[in-house]
Structures are given as structure tokens and as C-alpha cells.
Amino acid sequence: MTTLRRRVRVGVGDGAHARPVAELARLAQAHGSPVLLSTDAGETAELSSVLAVMDLAIRAGDEVTFEVADSPGAPALLDAIAAVLRAR
């Protein structure tokens, strides 16, 4: 199965704190396919788990990579995820 990846620089001023992480989890859960989040340090978390993502302590300016199985809705999902993390 083909996987789509998107690398995003976090622009949210406080980094991946509760509000944007909850929005990311909601997006991932609505999509129905697992979305994996990876940091440059090699840490990973399933995006639908708010606590797992918050444990990564992602800060503004960090770059993260999202990975999801290719499907008709996957590109739009990655666009929505990037928009949440790029918001200022």
C-alpha cells in the first residue's frame, strides 16, 4: 500500500499544545485511517492519541512528518493537518 507523507514546520506559537493537538486527533479520527506523526528525534505517535502526541513536546519551529495510507481523502487530510499546525 502506498503511503503519503507531509513534512510541516510548526508555526503555532505555543507548539503542539492541547487545543491544536485535540484538533489534529479529531481530524485523524474522522478520516478513519491511522495517521503517524514523527519528529526529527525519531519519536512517533499515532495522531488520534492526544496524550501520545502531547508527550512528544513539539515546540514552535520544530519540523514533524505525518504519514497516512494513500486514499481519496488522504491529501485533503494532510492539508488540514498542516493548516492546524501552521496557524499563528
> Per residue in 41-87, pLDDT tens?
999 999 999 999 999 999 989 999 999 999 999 999 999 999 998 87
Domains: count for the chain: 1
Q: Read off the CATH number of the domain in which 77 is found.
A: 3.30.1340.10
Domain that holds residue 73: 3-86
pLDDT, residue 55, reads 93
Q: Give the model confidence (pLDDT) of 7-38 as tens digits.
A: 999 987 777 778 889 999 999 999 988 999 99
Residue 22 has which C-alpha cell?
485535540
Q: Are 16 and 54 in contact (CB under 8 A)?
A: yes
pTM over 0.75: yes
Measured CA to CA in angstroms, residue 41 lies from 9, 64, 69, 75, 88 at distances of 14, 10, 22, 25, 24
CB 80 within 8 A of CB 4: no
What pLDDT sits at residue 88?
Answer: 52
